[in-house]
Amino acid sequence: ETGVTQTPRHLVMGMTNKKSLKCEQHLGHNAMYWYKQSAKKPLELMFVYNFKEQTENNSVPSRFSPECPNSSHLFLHLHTLQPEDSALYLCASSQASPGTGPGNTEAFFGQGTRLTVV
Amino acid sequence: AQKVTQAQTEISVVEKEDVTLDCVYETRDTTYYLFWYKQPPSGELVFLIRRNSFDEQNEISGRYSWNFQKSTSSFNFTITASQVVDSAVYFCALSEALTDSWGKLQFGAGTQVVVTP
């Protein structure tokens, strides 16, 4: 098993569909993240979960809804998306140290889900 | 304002040439962390190095080397004797150690490296 696994790898959905992206980490980490990578833009942090609690939501539209049922799984539920939401969605995990933040540990990334909204 | 600047959009080299990727960052924190990641065509970001703000020693790992200069807020990355497998997008990233920056890796725009045989 690779460290961080994302499914599906590719997804095409209509604007009225509802779909979910799944991320699973096998590294025993306690923090998980969703990033969005659009063409010609830097990677953008969307959501942060620490110990299953959401600690950051970077002004992400409500059509993106994260869920973290346990420290190994992270979902991104999608509904009524727009064509501009087409991007590569990357999941990452890290071992964060309480009190010091995760800055001292590297994040491990999955291969991403290439999402196309039509 | 972007905190991590990678001014080079794309660099093309011939195999065995050296290539240096520039990264300039901006932070008011005294404690922070800098990272380099490689993104091959498969899409996954591969961790290359982490450096904390108190460690200015340059580092070498095989054909990779990093030059951290706090005075110029730069953290440059050099690939020596490049190979075709080095072709990828390389990202520099910054993480500030404030607790409210939990998990926040701020990435540069990336530099596409193309190595031709």
Q: What is the mean pLDDT of the segment spanning B66-74?
A: 94
Average confidence score pLDDT of chain B:
90
Confidence band, pLDDT 50/70/90 cuts, at residue B73? very high
When pLDDT is cut at 50, 70 and 90, the band that residue A112 belongs to is very high
CA distance B97 to A18: 37
pLDDT at A53: 73
Provide the chain B residues 59-88 that lie in CB contact (below 8 A) with chain A. none
State what percent of residues in chain A have pLDDT above 90: 59
| Predicted local distance difference test score (pLDDT) of residue A75 | 97
Q: In the predicted model, is pLDDT for residue A101 greater than 90? A: no
Looking at the predicted structure, is the pLDDT value of residue B93 above 80?
yes
Instruction: Decide which of B107 and B105 is more confident.
Output: B107
Beta carbons of A42 and B110 less than 8 Å apart: yes
| Interface A-B: count of C-beta contacts within 8 A | 82
pLDDT tens string A53-65: 777 677 899 999 9
Q: Who has greater pLDDT, A32 or B98?
A: A32
Residue A28 gets the label, from left (phi > 0), alpha (psi -120 to 50) or beta, of: left
How many whole angstroms separate alpha carbon A41 and alpha carbon A29? 28
B115 phi, psi to nearest 5 deg:
-110, 120
The beta-carbon neighbor of A111 closest among B2, B43, B102 is B43
Nearest residue in chain A measured CA to CA from B39:
A111
Q: What does the pLDDT average to over A4-10?
A: 96
Residue B43 has pLDDT above 90, yes or no: no
CA-nearest of A89, A77, A98 to A116 is A89
At CB < 8 Å, which residues of chain A contact B? 31, 33, 40-43, 45, 48, 50, 55-56, 88, 90, 92, 94, 96, 99-112, 114
Interface probe, candidates B9, B94, B95, chain A, greatest A C-beta count within 10 A? B95
On the question of pLDDT at A10 being above 80, the answer is yes
pLDDT single digits (tens) B5-42:
999 999 999 999 999 999 999 998 888 889 999 999 88
Name residues 24-63 of chain B within 8 A of A (Cβ). Answer: 31-33, 35, 37, 42-47, 50, 52
pLDDT for the residue numbered B20: 97
Residue of B33, B36, B45, B47 to mutate, interface with A, max A Cβ within 10 Å: B45
pLDDT at B28: 87
pLDDT value of residue B44: 87
Contact B44 A111 (CB under 8 A): yes
Distance from CA of B4 to the nearest CA of A (A): 10
Spatial neighbors of B91 by CB under 8 A, at least 6 apart, are A43, B6, B36, B37, B38, B39, B45, B107, B108, B110
